[in-house]
Amino acid sequence: MHEPLLTLDQAVERLLAAAEPVRARETVALADGLGRVLAAPVVSPVAVPPLDNAAMDGYALRTSDWAAGRPLKLSQRIQAGQVGAALQPGEAARIFTGAPVPAGADAVAMQEDCEAQEGWVLIKRPPQPGEHIRRAGEDIAAGQTVLTAGERLTAARLGVAASTGATALTVHRRLRVAVFFTGDELVPPGRPLAPGQIYNSNRAVLTALLQGLGAEVEDLGEVPDDLEATVATLRAASARADVVLTSGGVSVGEADYVRAAVERLGRIEFWRVAMKPGKPLTYGRLGATDFLGLPGNPVSAFVVFGLFVRPFLLRRMGAAVRPPLRLPVPAGFAWDRPGNRREFLRARIEEGRAVLYPNQSSGVLTSVAWAEGLIDLDIGRTVAPGELVPFIPMSELLV
């Protein structure tokens, strides 16, 4: 199988084209909405704020009444939650942040600019019309669409929905993702290691990443390097899940049975992507279930998850997907080995410059734990210190 290498963008495009959003929807209470994907827009029945209101503690007045040294009569006191009476000429109202501005008033003077005494207030600075008033509807107009289908519910978006009075939201049903980890050498933490064995770290990383994306995770654990065992686990996984995700066993080694197993039960597409780490990317179908095979190397698995699996799963969940942010950051390092694959380096920002983890090997998972993001180095690129390099913040790959 020696097809030409795909570029990263070509591979992402192919994967996204294959991702069918789950159709089923359900209604969730606002309090259960975090991380879910909206399947219907949220339209506000109310204006937010509902009324013009004070942006400061102070005094509401008619600006046309103001003259230097002339006090205004204090006629009322309006707290947040109360509605005052119309302001008459020559009057001012004591008012507090969030309280509706009384009819007739066209400004709020901040209390730091005022002297109040026995029923009168002197406003020492000329107020400007509209000053310190938040306008009705300046956040949200009645009838406005505040959230659209495909948006993922974050804390702030849940707050926006709450501010319109929403109690329940229409979301896509959760995506079911089954995951297993191939390798005779793998042992779950909690057991002693025999010679030649290693602890299964991809399991911790990938199940956490899937949970972070809001998937329902079915964790089938370690599977030995054996064709029949792999076929059996794959069959069980595909029966229960929308997507099956695996790690390891997709290279071209003799103990790599995952592709053969997928071919037994369905069909496979195998792409070699011109990137480092993470060259092999495997996608396939098992009936109605999608299959994604990740490389076993922990750093490769993480990077391939962030750049390919994450956008695939998000689209599958019904979410709108856009490419990860790439922020230009001055390099705090030199790179004088131009590569023939696009390379993703584990980096941090220190004093405004991107610095690299000293060991960039694809087996060194501590580089990922240390990193705040990835430097995206194009094919053939060299870097002198101070040159701008694209930095992908970790948050763009995780959640």
Q: Which of the choices Mg ion, ligand AMP, none does residue 200 contact, using the CB cut-off of 5 to 8 A by kind?
A: ligand AMP
Q: Which of the choices ligand AMP, Mg ion, none does residue 295 contact, using the CB cut-off of 5 to 8 A by kind?
A: ligand AMP
Does 293 sit near Mg ion (CB under 5 A)?
A: no
In the bound state with Mg ion, the residue whose beta carbon lies nearer, of 248 and 278, is 248
Does 248 sit near Mg ion (CB under 5 A)?
A: yes
In the bound state with Mg ion, the residue whose beta carbon lies nearer, of 133 and 294, is 294
In the bound state with ligand AMP, the residue whose beta carbon lies nearer, of 109 and 210, is 210
User: Closest residue to Mg ion, Cβ-based?
Assistant: 248
Q: Which of the choices Mg ion, ligand AMP, none does residue 53 contact, using the CB cut-off of 5 to 8 A by kind?
A: none
In the bound state with ligand AMP, the residue whose beta carbon lies nearer, of 289 and 297, is 297
Residue with token string 């870097």 = 383
Does 266 sit near Mg ion (CB under 5 A)?
A: no
Does 183 sit near Mg ion (CB under 5 A)?
A: yes
Min dist CB 225 to Mg ion, Å, is 6
User: Closest residue to ligand AMP, Cβ-based?
Assistant: 296
Q: Which residue type occupies 125?
A: R
Provide the binding-site residues for ligand AMP, judged by CB under 6 A: 181, 183, 185-186, 198, 200-203, 247-249, 251, 253, 295-298
In the bound state with Mg ion, the residue whose beta carbon lies nearer, of 118 and 254, is 254
Min dist CB 312 to ligand AMP, Å, is 19
Three-state helix/strand/coil letters over the chain: CCCCCECHHHHHHHHHHHCCCCCCEEEEEHHHCCCCEECCCEECCCCECCCCEECCCEEEECHHHCCCCCCEEEEEEECCCCCCCCCCCCEEEEECCCCECCCCCCEEEEHHHEEEECCEEEECCCCCCCCCEECCCCCECCCCEEECCCCECCHHHHHHHHHCCCCEEEEECCCEEEEEEECCCEECCCCCCCCCCEECCHHHHHHHHHHHCCCEEEEEEEECCCHHHHHHHHHHHHHHCCEEEEECCCCCCCCCCHHHHHHHHCEEEEEEECEECCCEEEEEEECCEEEEEECCCHHHHHHHHHHHHHHHHHHHCCCCCCCCCCEEEEECCCECCCCCCEEEEEEEEECCEEEECCCCCCCCCHHHHHCCEEEEECCCCCECCCCEEEEEECHHHHC
In the bound state with ligand AMP, the residue whose beta carbon lies nearer, of 106 and 225, is 225
Min dist CB 298 to Mg ion, Å, is 12
Min dist CB 344 to ligand AMP, Å, is 17
In the bound state with ligand AMP, the residue whose beta carbon lies nearer, of 53 and 202, is 202
Min dist CB 250 to ligand AMP, Å, is 6
Min dist CB 220 to Mg ion, Å, is 16
Residues that bind Mg ion (CB under 5 A): 183, 248-249, 296
